[in-house]
Amino acid sequence: MSKRGKLVVVTGPSGVGKSTIVGEVVRRTGAAFSVSATTRPARPGEVEGREYQFIDEATFEGMIQRDELLEWAKVYGCYYGTPSAPVRQGIEAGRTVILEIDVEGGKQVHRHMPEATFVLIEPPSADALAHRLTGRGSETSQKRQERLAKADEEIAAAKASGVYNRSVVNDDLEAAIEQVAAIVREESIDT
Ligand code: ADP
Ligand code: 5GP
């Protein structure tokens, strides 16, 4: 019997360190990163097909209509979604696939694949989160305020959903990376 891979969904508020952690976990574990499609413009340093597939709204809406997305959401005015095919292919090939998506998207994935592992990354404090978002410097002050204002709400919604069965506080970065890597390395369940 060939073993199917497992799906790990990582979520948390903007600026908590998801991309930093997931990038390093992928490097250390060899898991497959699910590249989302988005209508958000690329940030400096982001590469088409590596962080995201950067597409326009009409193309995204076509993907929704053709049912090509495992989940999707409109976050901060832009579309973000997970193309289903690479996730399905990765799992069938026995690989662990990691999704880095928002809380709402994770809840949609749970409806299709409740056997997946759902990890909530939390900041050590609201101040630390504000500091990280400012330090990243990728949003205007107004956009940053919008993301910060939503953070508490997102964490509360994630906890209330009952979907997120694992939680990691990203205080010391190295410790957080190793905790998520340990979750990723856990034995996958045969389905
Ligand atoms: P997200 O993907 O959740 O929006 P990022 O991975 O872009 O967040 O991280 C936001 C900023 O916080 C980045 O500048 C990153 O280098 C920094 N950062 C991540 N983890 C930590 C940590 N444990 N301590 C301090 N800064 C961190
Ligand atoms: P950013 O613009 O900072 O890269 O991402 C903004 C938010 O969108 C983050 O919470 C991120 O996890 C989320 N996100 C990224 N890709 C996806 C996706 O495919 N689906 C959903 N639902 N959210 C996503």
Q: Which backbone phi and psi does 33 adopt, to 5 degrees?
A: -90, 130
Give the per-residue pLDDT at 140.
Answer: 85
Per-residue pLDDT at 1: 55
Q: Tell me, what's the pLDDT at 191?
A: 44
As given in the structure block, the two tokens for residue 20 are 């930093």
Ligand 2 shell residues, CB under 6 Å: 14, 18, 36, 40, 71-73, 75, 80-82, 100-102, 104-105
Q: Which helix or strand (DSSP H or E) is residue 22 part of? A: helix 18-29
Q: Which ligand is nearest to the CA of 75?
A: 2
- Say what the pLDDT of residue 146 is: 87
Tell me, which fold does domain 6-186 have in CATH?
Rossmann fold (3.40.50)
Tokens read off for 189:
């369940």
Counting atoms of ligand 1 from 1, which one is nearest the CA of 176? 23
Question: How far is CA 56 from each of CA 9, 42, 48, 140, 172, rounded to the nearest angstrom?
Answer: 25, 12, 13, 22, 37
C-alpha distances in Å from residue 58, one per residue of 61, 82, 189: 5, 16, 38
Task: Give the per-residue pLDDT at 147.
Answer: 87
What pLDDT sits at residue 190?
46
Pocket test residue of 16, 18, 20, 172 for ligand 1, highest count of atoms within 8 A of CB = 20
| Segments in the chain below pLDDT 50 | 190-191
Element (DSSP H or E) covering residue 73: strand 69-75
Domain ranges of the chain: 6-186
CA pair distance 108, 102, nearest whole angstrom: 10
Counting beta carbons within 10 angstroms of the beta carbon of residue 65, is it exposed (0 to 12), middle (13 to 18) or buried (19 or more)? exposed
